[in-house]
Amino acid sequence: MNRFQTTLDTVVSFTGVGLHLGKETTITFKPAPPDTGYVFVRTDVESRPMIKVCVENVRMIEEQARRTTLGENYFEVHTVEHVLSALYGLEIDNAIIEIDSDEPPEPAGGSVSSFAALLKNAGVATLNRHPRKIFKITEPVSLEYFGATLTVVPYSGLRVSFTIDYDIATIGTQYLSLDITPESFAQEIAPARTFCLYRDVKALQEKGLIKGGTLDNAVVIGDDGIMNDKPLRFPDEFVRHKILDLIGDLSLLGFRLEGHVISAKSGHASNVQFVKKITNVYKGSMSKTEKHLSDRKWDIQDVMRLLPHRYPFLLVDKVLECDPGKRIVGLKNVTINEPYFQGHFPGSPIMPGVLVVEAMAQVGGLMLFDNVDDPSKWLVYFGGIDKVRFRKPILPGDQVKFELEMISSRGRLCRMRGIARVDERVAAEAELTAMLVERT
């Protein structure tokens, strides 16, 4: 998963007919600044009202089980799940979505493959120095809602496992479990079409829905099987489309979810209730997660994801502060178990000066990694160490705070000033010149 937020590179538009309300509509996707999320703009209204995509703006209406509707003040936008699924599934974090009606168009093919292709053609731009809002599940959350069950458990990445069970032989019981990445979404989920039972069509029409539904943009299942001329795109196309809908509803979190979502028989109503429950259970944690990188601490796991160093040469335990491209503060706890104390003045152990500078350099390197999209592809090489001064010995039991400030930077080359403090007293200082070098 990209470490930084993303948006679109260019503006793209799509015109078609809305699935439920049957109106011809043009939708336009535009780049958006960091931390915007997804925002719909109703261009058919003179005031151009904006509707932010969040769970608080979901309008719970009678036919909610068939679509997801958002609203702010007096204005609404209906059937947003397919648009949101395309954006969220492709890991596009920020977008302005202009629409000249109250419902997005439904692609003629009945799936979101057209949206996915459109967004890919627009290109994805990485918003460097703006860390992605990732919400990591640490404790399971479960929901039972009118026959549907949903659970999310800790997982590295986003995985969805979904089970459907219909009393009609053409669908029956289907199950699929899949890691959701932009590649898997585009290939395995986006092509799956909307579907409904023919016996439900009349009831939906009486509610003023599926006015734009045809056998070209939806799979209709009758008593004798599929009524469409075209065959299924996957043997389990129905459960794949349910995953597609769920991904769209998960975007209501406002974060990239990191966890394994396990669903049985869920639809839009239960999906929305599940998002609300996750939000309520993790309310304090989500507030903390939403903070900019400069406002939160990196633990040792974060450090190890960025630095290539490992024991005994990993000399950073934690990052306390980071103002990308300007300043970083890291921490090193010195213990008597450090391997160098066996040979470096074992009777009077002192942390070697070269390792103090090395630890300082590693903290500075973390600030440089914040400028690239994939740190695993880069190394930090130091080209110069100047003005080194050792003011105070660093001993076992000391906690060393390394403070580095950027003096100048040009491209991938930079110069930093570093200070090592113990109990707020300066123990060492130096100026470091470093460069990011791509791994070969």
pLDDT at site 289: 47
Gap between the Cα atoms of 311 and 106, Å rounded: 54
Tokens of 109: 């093919």
- Residue ranges in 90-214 assigned as alpha helix (H): 113-122, 182-184, 198-206
Q: How far is CA 153 from CA 193, 244, 245, 291, in A?
A: 28, 19, 20, 23
Question: Hey, CA dihedral for 323, 326, 332, 338, is it positive or negative?
Answer: positive
Q: pLDDT for 64-79, tens place per residue? A: 446 789 998 889 998 8
Q: Of 3.40.50.10420, 3.30.70.2740, 3.30.1700.10, 1.10.1270.20, which CATH number belongs to 4-290? A: 3.30.1700.10
pLDDT at site 205: 67
The string of DSSP letters for 161-181 reads: EEEEE-SSTTT-EEEEEEE--
Q: What is the DSSP letter of 311?
A: T
The residue ranges of every structural domain in the chain are 4-290, 293-438
- Within the chain, which residues score under 70 in pLDDT? 1-2, 20, 60-66, 205-216, 284-297, 370-374
Q: Within 10 Å of residue 295's Cβ, how many Cβ atoms?
A: 11
pLDDT at site 387: 94
Q: How far is CA 235 from CA 86, 176, 188, 283, in A?
A: 22, 11, 12, 40
Q: Of 3.40.720.10, 3.10.129.10, 3.40.190.10, 2.40.100.10, which CATH number belongs to 293-438? A: 3.10.129.10
Catalytically active residues, by annotation: 268, 344
pLDDT at site 63: 42
CA 268 to chain centroid: 21
The answer to whether 272 and 64 are in contact (CB under 8 A) is yes
Beta-carbon contacts of 422 under 8 Å, excluding residues fewer than 6 positions away, are 392, 394, 398, 399, 400, 401
φ, ψ for residue 286, nearest 5 deg: -65, -35
Question: If 0-12 CB within 10 Å is exposed, 13-18 middle and 19+ buried, where does residue 112 land?
Answer: buried
pLDDT at site 290: 44
Gap between the Cα atoms of 157 and 409, Å rounded: 34
